[in-house]
């Protein structure tokens, strides 16, 4: 990303092969988190180990967004593809549930 944006900025929008520099600030940057990627260790490591990895995952996403923001002028981000983790079947089996009256 850094190399591409640097080349596009240096070309000033005059290259037919590179996007104009404004495209980097005007684009929507999407970060896709696969549910299976996040929960794949649940069976082997248990729910507590998966919960401990969450701060690292969030930190990596945050750092990526900061890098895109400072490197290419990105301003619009969408992080998606995580269903409510409490509804994931493996978590439902592991989590303590309190019976609520209907």
Name the 3-class secondary structure at 20: coil
pLDDT digits (tens, 9 = 90+) for 33-56: 777 666 676 667 777 887 788 888
Flag whether pLDDT at 70 surpasses 70: yes
Mean pLDDT of the chain: 78
What average pLDDT score do residues 84-89 get? 70
Which pTM value belongs to this model?
0.64
Per-domain boundaries in the chain: 30-94
100: left (phi over 0), alpha (psi -120 to 50) or beta: beta
């Amino acid at each position: 990303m850094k190399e591409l944006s640097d080349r596009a900025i240096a070309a000033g929008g005059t290259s037919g092969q590179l996007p104009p520099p404004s495209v980097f600030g005007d684009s929507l940057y999407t970060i896709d988190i696969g549910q299976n990627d996040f929960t794949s260790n649940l069976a082997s490591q248990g729910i507590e180990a998966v919960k401990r990895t969450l701060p690292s995952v969030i930190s990596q996403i945050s750092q990526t967004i900061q890098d895109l923001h400072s490197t290419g002028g990105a301003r619009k981000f969408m992080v998606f593809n995580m269903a409510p983790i409490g509804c994931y079947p493996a978590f439902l089996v592991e989590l303590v549930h309190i019976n609520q009256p209907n």
